[in-house]
């Protein structure tokens, strides 16, 4: 039996896939402690793991993204820079302190974090002889810098011509944009380690002992300079069959293509960002539109046309095999889930990692990308009908689904963790067996 500490910022899209990981480690007999916000305490306990609370100043919720009025006007790397400083960098020291307190209370064989848990970079500053291995679980598009990719947050796929010179120029700009976030964490880092931060904060994954990405290579940009510590295991999301079947489920009888609309569970307050214009776009089409509100009451939706059905949550393992097009504002977990079933995608724009998700949707050929975070009904109609009518999108999605079916999944992640934790360690980090 291994002792594992997991840590995630308290945001739904980061915590949810790691809950599935925690459950799998518990089921194989491991002792798991999960550091995250209090709002997830019951869900953590339901996996069999022990919840460890983040301190108050590091325990925010999804509304934290709406607490900065100036953020609404920011896009691309400027939006990423704002979030990196105000939401991700500033909690880093308290995150670090919580991890180290957990290790002092009970030594662990490995620490697993999500990419945005920036306290991890301070943990990795300790010598490997002084800490357990740190494994980053890739619940977001891979942010690792590369000469072959544009900086994370710009939503730019590799260029056909002059790709590396373009990326080098953009990287120089990006370093200036992210300087404030780097300064914040560098100050924390110096207090602990008495030396400067080894890399830009957004690239801290390069300091981890392993990065295990929850997708397959076909959905991620190739990097000729990718570190040997990078692994792909496919999506490790929780089952989507927990929601009950709605009373209109029999309408999914296969007579019409199903277009599924979702804004996820966080960016679902303003339906004008996707659901409202998509409903308008599909009103006169011979399709069945299925809407998930992500937990909001159904009566908060705009009036549904005759060809639309809605539920707060839907059983994805049942719905996606019946779905012809998955229309989303770009949540990484939802896109990976749809691709498991070979469903082509229409992704709109937004903040956080959504521009990167949409760029990968278009680059991989699995669907259409609309760059606006408030697309018009006309733009959505054009994209949805194109994905419905052109077989190449479903063919590309099905190729990725085949890769995902063959991926190692949790077994691949567990193998990385077990091999790293088996390396010799000083006695004060060895558990009594």
Distance CA 215, CA 275 (A): 26
Distance CA 329, CA 219 (A): 17
Class of the CATH domain delimited by 3-234+407-425: alpha beta
Residue 94 — φ and ψ, nearest 5°? -70, -35
For the chain, percent of residues with pLDDT exceeding 70: 91
Domain regions of the chain by residue span: 3-234+407-425, 249-406
Distance CA 57, CA 138 (A): 25
For the chain, percent of residues with pLDDT exceeding 90: 75
How is residue 72 written in tokens? 């609404």
Which H/E stretch holds residue 191? Answer: helix 179-193
Which of 169-173, 261-265, 267-271, 397-401 is modeled with the greatest confidence?
397-401
In this prediction, residue 85 carries a pLDDT of 82
Residue 278 — φ and ψ, nearest 5°? -70, -40
In this prediction, residue 263 carries a pLDDT of 87
Which is nearest to 337 in space by CA: 214, 153, 211, 155?
Answer: 214
* Average per-residue pLDDT for the chain: 91
Domains 3-234+407-425 and 249-406 share a fold: yes
The pLDDT-based confidence of 412 (bands split at 50, 70, 90) is very high
Answer whether residue 31 shows pLDDT above 50.
yes
Which is nearest to 30 in space by CA: 4, 5, 6?
Answer: 4
Average confidence (pLDDT) over 285-301: 92
In this prediction, residue 57 carries a pLDDT of 85
In this prediction, residue 289 carries a pLDDT of 97
Whole-model pTM: value is 0.91
pLDDT by residue (tens digit) across 55-77? 988 887 665 555 555 666 666 66
Question: Which is the CATH superfamily of the domain at 249-406?
Answer: Glycogen Phosphorylase B; (3.40.50.2000)
In this prediction, residue 430 carries a pLDDT of 43
pLDDT by residue (tens digit) across 97-139? 999 999 999 999 999 999 999 999 999 999 999 999 999 999 9
Average confidence (pLDDT) over 340-368: 93
The pLDDT-based confidence of 429 (bands split at 50, 70, 90) is very low
């Amino acid at each position: 039996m291994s002792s594992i500490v997991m840590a995630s910022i308290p945001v739904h899209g980061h915590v949810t896939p790691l809950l599935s990981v925690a459950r799998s480690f518990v089921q194989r007999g491991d002792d798991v402690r999960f550091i995250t916000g209090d709002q997830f305490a019951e869900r953590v306990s339901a996996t069999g793991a022990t919840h460890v609370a983040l301190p108050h100043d590091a325990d925010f919720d999804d509304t934290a993204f709406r607490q900065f009025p100036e953020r609404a006007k920011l896009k691309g790397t400027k939006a990423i820079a704002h979030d990196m400083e105000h939401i991700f960098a500033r909690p880093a020291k308290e995150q670090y302190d919580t991890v180290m307190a957990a290790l002092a209370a009970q030594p662990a064989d490995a620490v697993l974090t999500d990419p945005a848990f920036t306290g991890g970079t301070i943990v990795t500053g300790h010598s490997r002889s002084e800490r357990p291995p740190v494994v980053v679980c890739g619940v977001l598009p891979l942010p690792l810098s590369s000469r072959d990719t544009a900086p994370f947050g710009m939503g730019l796929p590799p260029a056909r011509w002059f790709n590396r010179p373009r990326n080098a120029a953009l990287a120089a700009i990006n370093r200036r944009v992210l300087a404030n976030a780097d300064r914040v964490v560098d100050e924390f880092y110096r207090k602990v380690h008495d030396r400067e931060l080894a890399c830009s904060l957004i690239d801290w994954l390069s300091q981890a002992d392993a990065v295990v990405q929850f997708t397959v290579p076909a959905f991620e940009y190739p990097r000729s300079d990718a570190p040997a510590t990078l692994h792909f295991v496919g999506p490790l999301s929780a089952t989507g069959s927990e929601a009950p079947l709605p009373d209109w489920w029999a309408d999914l009888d296969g007579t019409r293509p199903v277009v599924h609309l979702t804004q996820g569970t966080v960016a679902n307050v303003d339906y004008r960002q996707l659901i409202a214009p998509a409903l308008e776009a599909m009103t006169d089409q011979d399709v069945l539109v299925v809407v998930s509100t992500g937990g909001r009451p159904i009566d908060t939706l705009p009036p549904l046309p005759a060809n639309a059905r809605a539920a707060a949550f839907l059983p994805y393992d049942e719905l996606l095999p019946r779905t012809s097009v998955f229309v989303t504002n770009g949540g990484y977990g939802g896109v990976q889930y749809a691709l498991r079933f070979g469903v082509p995608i229409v992704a709109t724009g937004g903040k956080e990692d959504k521009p990167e998700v949409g760029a990968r949707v278009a680059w991989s050929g699995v669907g259409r990308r609309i760059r606006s975070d408030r697309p018009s009904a006309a733009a959505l109609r054009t994209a949805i009908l194109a994905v419905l009518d052109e077989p190449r999108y479903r063919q590309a999605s099905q190729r990725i689904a085949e890769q995902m079916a063959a991926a190692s999944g949790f077994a691949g992640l567990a193998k990385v963790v077990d091999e790293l934790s088996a390396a010799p360690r000083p006695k004060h980090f060895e558990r009594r067996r």
